[in-house]
Structure 1
Amino acid sequence: MEKFVKINFLGASGVVTGSKFLIETSEKNILIDCGMFQGLKELRELNWNDLPVDVNAIDVVLLTHGHLDHVGYLPRLIKQGFKGKIIGTAPTLAIAEIILKDSAKIHEEEANKANKENYSKHNPALPFYTVLDAEKTIKLFEVELEDKWIQLSEHISFRFQYNGHIIGATFIELDINRKRFVFSGDIGRTNDYLLNDPKKPEWADFLFIESTYGNKLHPKEDLETMLSTIIKDTIYKKGNLIIPSFAVERLQTLMYILWKLYKKNKIPNIPIFIDSPMGNNVLEVFKRFPKWHKLPTKDYKAMCKHINIIQSYKETWETIDDKRSKIIIAGSGMVTGGRVLTYLQQLIDEPSTTVLLVGYQAEGTRGRQLQDGTHEIRFFGKYYPVNATIKNIESLSAHADQQDLINWMKNIKNIPEQVYLIHGEPTALDAFRVKIKSIYHWNVKIPKLTDVEKVMI
């Protein structure tokens, strides 16, 4: 085997989204994650470019978890000639299937709408990929167990390790010629409502660690009291509480917390509507994989019974026309698409409306605009005044904060040859670099998009 490995930083380098890291060796070429860029327009436009590598030469894709910014580019990879296996844990591939099909459907619908209403500069507007493309991708999925070493070739093996964050999520340990490359994926939090605590790596020669909250500590908020207050205020205003939510994990966590609040008599029996076809499918994944989370079956059933799950677009409009105060949880979490756009288009100009943001809002998304206090917002080519109250609860984030990230590394027994900070915005990356240097005195790099590194093994 050659004595070096080539690392291609194809995404989530200097930015949060678009996770893609190609590891080239003389035996196998391995792509870790294959995500879409989200947020700023110049990032989203990168999605339309072919990868600057020989896609035909990639042997396998290993997935840390099923979020769109880690799996959403897979159908484009296949269009560019990839024919290998796409490997993940069973829940990760179940989530990836749901997300890819849903994403493809949205791409098709948006292209059709843009062509019909003539608001795209492209003629015709094309979907990023189709449902058929997604189905072709899913045929390449192959399940592997968590916590089991899998041999890829004579000198290369890998292992998935439980990582919290969302159901099925893992970090990846990749051993190449006795050197260990550790890819953190997205690291979850301790004491999560639904998930067990993340495991921690014990050895890393080369560490690739996410830095989403590398410059922040999550506030010590009394989440249940804050939610109760917001809900009671919504009822007092005779308005609607709209919660844009990520369909995977956040939506299920919110359902569970709201059900618990009702059971404890902390909130009245306000109608709760879940409008996320993808979120409903993710609920089924929780049902299928009980060992991957800590929600008891009886609580799962009671929670689902308590909440109204919207099945059709007709019901979306019936919910908007319903004059009662209510809670509406709808995708997407960064307000970039999905059913939440319809609710906000109709209700964001009303002072009685409250919009509650409950997760990370990437630069360039509508969610970030709302978080930053914008006075107007654009949906489907038109601007709408923001008269609604905008609230933000950071403590519901599924990402580890700076302290969690530092703790996640503390069991590493050796001194890594190199630590690469990925999956973060520039200020978070730099603050986290300084923190790691001061605590561990390790070599830390912040790679940029399309950087290539050669490391000796």
Structure 2
Amino acid sequence: MQLQFLGAADTVTGSRHFVEFGGARLLLDCGLFQGFKTHRERNWAPPPEVLRDLDAVLLSHAHLDHCGWLPVLVKHGFRGPVYASAATCALAEVLLLDSAHLQEEDARRANRGGWSRHRPARPLYTAADVKRTLALMQPLAPGRSRSVAGVQLQLVPAGHLLGASSLRLSRGDQTLVLSGDLGRDDDLLMPPPQAPGAADVLLVESTYGNRCHPQEDVQARLGEIIRSTVRRGGSVLLPSFAVGRAQALLLVLQRLRAAGEIAADMPIYLDSPMARTATRLYQQHARLLRISAREAAGLVDEVTLIETPQESQALQRSRWPKVVISASGMATGGRVLGHLKAMLPNPRHHIVFPGFQVAGTRGAALVGGAREVKMFGEYIAVKAEVSHLEGFSGHADAEGLMAWLRAFPKPPSQTFVVHGEPAAADALRCRIQDELGWAVRVPAQGECWSA
């Protein structure tokens, strides 16, 4: 078995792990780098030589830091199958098409505004590249084994996001497991992650490897934020991931209304076409959720769905107190930028970031106390109140990760800690070494390993 860590090795994004296993050449996840510019620039590098002649790509789930580089791989000639759960395939279509649209639009805007250093500015990939990518995707049912180039692949539900799975690869007496992103035992929408059984080699994520989720009632906290903001005549903006986080926010807002903790006629807007489509997919796959079919069906009851860019711009100009959910979750692009530009200079408003913010993003800067942020080629003053509700995170925290690891029936021969900022990855490494006594290391970007 040979491994090469092509992403998510020195940062929390860009999940890409090459494995050569019994002659099979496989890429586990194919994600975008996000956050700091030095990381984002890696997205523009052509695929390394080792990714030529791949037999298949295997996806753990549909977040862009796990699937968002697939169109680049296809653009450079990959034509093999891409295996994932059916829900992941459905969500990936939504996320990838939206990603291409935003990149194309950002390039057009930069060319019109003249603020790009590139002449002309170009998208990383286009909708046409995405459509070629989607034609390669093949859904697999979790729990069932599938032979991929002579290796047995099994998807093990991981919580975290609709369709998210750990990847279990077996050949002969050797087994490799990639955790993917692991969910929480107390997630609002998803059941807890399942144990994948024994592994000889384990790759485990470490997004929250050095911290635990705060012991707070996120529903009560959000309710208080909304009430206090409305009392001073302001509105609440929830920058949200369109897939997973937006649906959890809708669930909490519906529960707040039902409990009388916010006014039944409180205007709630969902300004994200992708979130609207993803919500329909969550409703279609309600059997995979931990909430009732009734709650799933009512996620957008009495919620105004914003359709067009013109409607979004009109909403940004509206002065009535309201709650707006808009993407993207880390304020890296999308319609939320227009809302931020309109709301940040006004101290009556409240910007609430629900969940993890990758270092180097606008979201991380804002929750870190930035007094101005750059958008559309200009700096915007930050006078609105900004809060961070980490309790909405869909990731297992340090204790959750350790509980998942303790469920392994025997220690892996080698464990690699991936998908974490350096401090988080090393903190989890230390705990695995000290508390479990396993052979464990944090790989470097580009590092090769063989057994």
Give the number of equivalent residue pairs: 450
Quick check: 48-57 or 339-348, which moved more?
48-57
Residue 201 of structure 1, CA deviation:
2.2
Matched, 1:250 2:245: yes
Q: Find the partner of 1:422 among 418, 423, 442.
A: 418
State the distance in 2 between where 1:389 and 1:175 align: 51
Q: Find the partner of 2:256 among 261, 265, 272.
A: 261
State the distance in 2 between where 1:429 and 1:302 align: 39
Residue 45 of structure 1, CA deviation:
0.4
State the distance in 2 between where 1:164 and 1:26 align: 30
Matched, 1:53 2:49: yes
State the distance in 1 between where 2:346 and 2:63 align: 32
Please list the CA deviations of residues 87-137 of structure 1 after superposition, one character each: whole Å capped at 9, or x if unmatched. 100000101110000000001000111111111000000111000000000
SS in 2 for 1:235: helix
Percent same amino acid at aligned positions? Answer: 36
Residue 413 of structure 1, CA deviation:
1.1
Contact 2:286/2:296 (<8 A) preserved: no
- Match of 2:103, as an amino acid? H
Matched, 1:399 2:399: no
* Structure-to-structure mapping, 1:154-173, within 5 angstroms: 154=150, 156-173=151-168
Residue 323 of structure 1, CA deviation:
2.1
1:226 equivalent in structure 2 = 221
Q: Find the partner of 2:428 among 420, 429, 432.
A: 432
Residue 54 of structure 1, CA deviation:
3.7
SS in 2 for 1:306: coil
State the distance in 2 between where 1:303 and 1:396 align: 17
Q: Find the partner of 1:177 among 172, 175, 185.
A: 172
State the distance in 2 between where 1:81 and 1:153 align: 19
1:282 equivalent in structure 2 = 278
Contact 1:55/1:80 (<8 A) preserved: no
Contact 2:28/2:58 (<8 A) preserved: yes
Matched, 1:376 2:372: yes
1:447 equivalent in structure 2 = 443
2:103 equivalent in structure 1 = 107
SS in 2 for 1:273: strand
Matched, 1:27 2:23: yes
State the distance in 1 between where 2:286 and 2:419 align: 29
Distance 1:265 1:63, change over 3 A: same
Matched, 1:364 2:360: yes
TM-score (norm 2): 0.98
Residue 410 of structure 1, CA deviation:
1.3
- Match of 2:204, as an amino acid? I
Residue 202 of structure 1, CA deviation:
2.1
Contact 1:10/1:51 (<8 A) preserved: no
* Structure-to-structure mapping, 1:311-330, within 5 angstroms: 311-330=307-326
Q: CA RMSD in A?
A: 1.1
- Match of 1:188, as an amino acid? G
State the distance in 2 between where 1:439 and 1:201 align: 20
Matched, 1:44 2:70: no
TM-score (norm 1): 0.97
Please list the CA deviations of residues 259-308 of structure 1 after superposition, one character each: whole Å capped at 9, or x if unmatched. 00110111113111111111011011112212211333332333312211
Contact 2:247/2:299 (<8 A) preserved: no
Contact 1:56/1:83 (<8 A) preserved: no
Matched, 1:94 2:90: yes
Question: Can you give the 5+ residue segments of structure 1 that lack an aligned partner in the other structure?
Answer: none
Distance 1:79 1:303, change over 3 A: closer
1:78 equivalent in structure 2 = 74
* Structure-to-structure mapping, 1:6-25, within 5 angstroms: 6-25=2-21
State the distance in 1 between where 2:251 and 2:127 align: 31
Q: Find the partner of 2:113 among 100, 111, 117.
A: 117
2:131 equivalent in structure 1 = 135
Matched, 1:214 2:205: no
* Structure-to-structure mapping, 1:336-355, within 5 angstroms: 336-355=332-351
SS in 1 for 2:79: coil
Residue 331 of structure 1, CA deviation:
0.3
1:333 equivalent in structure 2 = 329
